[in-house]
Amino acid sequence: MIKEDLDIKQKFVHLCSMIFINSRGEFVFPIENLQYDGDWSDFLMSSDWSILDKKMSNLIIKLNEDNSILNLDVETEIWEMI
């Protein structure tokens, strides 16, 4: 669960910590898990979520193309890149 008092970049950093590698060796973000978890319902309805959803989708695409992105700072470099 993400605290509502965090700014959007801090929320992004928290969401990035949830990315994992699936059995096919691809980076994925567990959006389905969040959608069915009642604890996340308020967050998924927040105004920040529309921005974060797009950023997470873009990040997953970029990570699967070039995982050297992992060497960048999440809150500054990755945020700005996507």
Q: For residue 13, how far is the Cα from the chain centroid?
A: 7
The pair of structure tokens assigned to 23 is: 């059995």
Q: Is 48 part of any domain?
A: yes
Q: What span, in angstroms and rounded, lies between the C-alpha atoms of 6 and 66?
A: 29
Q: What is the pLDDT of residue 55?
A: 95
| pLDDT surpassing 90 at residue 12 | yes
Q: Is 69 part of any domain?
A: yes
The per-residue pLDDT for range 51-67, each reduced to its tens digit, is 999 999 999 999 999 99
The model's pTM is 0.85
Q: Is 3 part of any domain?
A: no
Q: Is 1 part of any domain?
A: no
Provide the domain count of the chain. 1
Range of 35's domain?
8-81
Q: What is the pLDDT of residue 72?
A: 96
Q: What span, in angstroms and rounded, lies between the C-alpha atoms of 68 and 14?
A: 20
* Residue 56 DSSP SS3: helix
Please, which pLDDT band fits residue 23 given cuts at 50, 70 and 90? very high
